[in-house]
A and B are shown apart, each in its own frame.
Chain A
C-alpha cells in the first residue's frame, strides 16, 4: 500500500464541523482528506431499521439502535447500555450522551433546533462573574452564525419580537413552520404563568431549500428524517466530495506526529483490520465531536507532548459541559394532540438570561412535540385493557400525553473531566472515554426552581399521572472539553479554534465552547467551524 496520502488540509471527522471546514477548503481549491472512523450511512436502511425496531425502544425514544454499529468505531447505545462511554460522579446519568460514528456524524439523528447564543452567553464571566468568557464577542461571531444558517437552511420566527434574543443583521433564510395543535395550545396555557413560548429556529425546510424537500411532518426527525427535509451534515460531506475532497470511511485516527516547532506533520489512522496508515498535510483539523476530540488528543500523546496533543495547559478533557435536563410527563386535562409538525417546534425562552445568572443557571423550558402514539399504545397494553376500552385508552393517551423538559446551563469546571479509560478498550485496542460529571451547585440551585416551574405548568394544563425525572438527564450538547480562551495557560484553543500549542492544528468542535448557554449548541459549533475555516484560508494565503 504505497499510496501517498497527503493533502493541504487533513480533517478528522465528517460531522457538521468537519464537513463545513472541508466544504470551505474544497471551495477554495485546496486538496482535502477527511478521515471518518465509521462507515457510510444509508438513509433508507436507517429508516427501515427504525421501523423494525421494537415498540419498547420507540416508546422510550431510542435514537441510536437504527444506526450501524461497527466494532472499530463504537458509539454509544443505551438500549441496553453497551458500555462505550463510562461516566461516574454525582451526576453520571446526566452525561450518557448520544453520538453517531459514520459519514455525516451525529446530526443524522439530531432534532435540528438551531439557535444562536445570546450576547451575554459569550461573556458570562465579565457580565455575571461566573464561568468563562469566549475569546470573542457576539458581534464577532454574528456573520458566521448567518452563514451557518444559510448553509444548514434554518427556518426561524422572522418578524417576531422575542425577548431576549440574539440580535440579527439579516432575517432567517426561511420563515418558521406553523404550529400544530399542541404548540398552539401550550403557548396559550403557559402565558398566564409568565412563560413566553416561541418558535424554535430549526434546521429544516419550511419550503423547498437547497434541493431538499419541504418538511411534511413525518415527526421522526430523531432518529432519522425519512425525506431529508431536515438538514444533516452528510449534505456538506457530499458537497465537499463533489468539489474534490476525499473521504476515507472506516479510518480511525489514533496518533499524530509533530516536528521540532511542534507543528503537526502527520496523522495516523487504523483501518478495520488495524492496519496503520499515515496521512501528511499542511494544516490539520480535528472535528471528532466533543467526546472524541479530547479523547484523540489525549490518546495521541507523544514524546514532545507527553500530556497529550495541544495539552500544555492540562485543559484537554476538562470543563465538560452539556445542558442537564429535568423531564416531566403527564396526561393533560384537555386533548393537546402532540406530534403535528417536527419534534421540536417551540420553547419557552424568556428565562435564558437575567441577573440571577450570577447565582444560578439560566434555563430553557420546552414541550417535546414527539408523537405520543408509541408510548400511548405500550402504556395502554400494560394496563391489561381489551376491546373498545383498549382502543379508547390509546386514543386518549395519544391526544392527552405531554412531555416537558427544562434544560440548564452549566459552568465550565475543570473537575468535570474526560480521561482515557484505564479499564476498557475497543476492538482496535483504543481506550474508551471516561467522564467524571457533577452538575454543580449553580445548576442544583436552579433545578429547585425548575421543578417548581414544571409543577406550575402541569397544573396549568390540568395534568394527572405527573412523573418527573429524579436524576438530571443528558442533552447531547457536548461542549467544553477543548476549551477556548485568550490565555494559553488555561485554555486549549484561541478564538479561531487554533490550538495554542500547534500553529497548524485546529479543533472544530463544541469542545471549544467556553460557556454552554441554555440552548442547543450545534449552530454555534458550525459557526466556529466557519470561523476556523476563514483563519485556515488566511494562513494558506500567507504561506
Chain B
C-alpha cells in the first residue's frame, strides 16, 4: 500500500550531508506501528461512532502485564487525580508503564501519593494537590498522572508516543459543541444550531 521509509538506504546513494532524517524517520515508523484501523475508522467517521481508544502498540512486547492489584491501585488513584471514573484500564496500564519507564521512582511516588490521599479527611484532587505542593517530587508525579490522562501522552514535545487521542480527557469538556477533529460530531450542518452555555459542563 505505501512505502515504508528506510532512513539508512545506503546502497549506491551518496551520504546526505545534513539530511536530518533519522529522528523523523523513527517517528514515521512509530506512527506506522499504530493499528491501522482504516476501514473501521472510515465507517466510524461516516456514522459518527468513535472507533474506540486508539492505542500505540509500542512497548507491549517488552513490558510484562501489570499485577492486577498494582493496576487497580493506579486506576483508583487516577479516578481521584482526574476527578473522572470512566477511564480505560487498558490505557491505565500503558500510562503506568510509561510513567515508570520515564521515572523509576514513579511506583514509590504513587504509593506515597496514595498514602497521602488516604490521610485526607475528604479526598479530592484539589486537596491532594495542595498538600503535595510541599513535596515537589510527589507533586510532580501527581501532575504527570493528570497530564497523561488529559493529553494522551507521557513525554512532552513532538517526539512523544501517543497513547490516546479521542479518549484523552482534554477533548471531553467541550465535546458537546466542539468536534474532536477527524471524528464526526454529527450530521452535515450540525454547526448551525445555537451553541450550549459555557457553564453547562458535559458529564464525562
Contact with A along B136-168 (1 / 0, CB 8 A): 000000110011001111001111101001101
Interface size class for chain B?
Answer: 35 or more
Is A89 an interface residue, CB under 8 A from the partner? no
Which chain A residues border B2 with CB–CB below 8 Å? 39-42, 45, 68
Is residue B121 within 8 Å, beta carbon to beta carbon, of the partner chain? no
Q: How long is the Cα–Cα vector from A390 to B201 in the complex, in angstroms?
A: 12
Partner of A216, one of B147, B152, B187: B187
Residues of chain B lying within 8 A (CB to CB) of residue A180 = 191-192
Given the known inter-chain contacts A45-B36, A178-B192, A392-B201, please indicate yes or no for A376 contacting B157, CB distance below 8 A: no
Q: Are B191 and A425 in contact (CB under 8 A)?
A: no
- Contact with B19, one of A51, A66, A74, A380 (Cβ below 8 angstroms): A74
Say which one of B37-45, B65-73, B109-117 lies at the interface with A: B37-45
Contacts of A372 in B (CB 8 A): 178
Q: Which of A82, A220, A396 contacts B20 (CB 8 A)?
A: A82
- The answer to whether A71 has its CB under 8 Å from any CB of chain B is yes
CB-CB contacts of B165-193 with A at 8 A, as 1s and 0s? 11010111110011111111111111110
Q: Which residues of B contact A340 (CB under 8 A)?
A: 177, 190-192, 195
Closest chain A residue, CB of each to CB of B200: A395
A398 touches B178 (CB 8 A): yes
Asked whether B13 is an interface residue with its Cβ less than 8 Å from the other chain, the reply is yes
Instruction: Chain B residues near A389: list those with CB within 8 A.
Output: 126
Pairwise interchain contact B182-A51, C-beta atoms closer than 8 A: yes
Distance of A178 Cα from B187 Cα, bound (Å): 13
Does the CB pair A423–B195 fall under 8 Å? no
Contact among B19, B129, B151, B181 with A71 in the assembled complex (CB-CB below 8 Å):
B19
> How far apart are the CA atoms of A49 and B42 in the complex, in Å?
14
Please name the residue on chain A nearest to B147 by beta carbon.
Answer: A381
Closest to A428 in B: B13
Name the interface residues of A41-77: CB closer than 8 Å to any CB of B: 41-42, 44-45, 47-58, 62, 65-66, 68-71, 74, 77
The 7 closest A-B pairs by CB, nearest first: A340-B191, A377-B170, A44-B38, A398-B174, A180-B191, A395-B173, A220-B181
Residues on A facing B (Cβ under 8 Å): 39-42, 44-45, 47-58, 62, 65-66, 68-71, 74, 77, 79-80, 82-83, 177-181, 213-220, 224, 226-227, 250, 272-274, 335, 337, 339-341, 371-374, 376-378, 380-381, 384, 386-392, 394-396, 398-400, 423-429
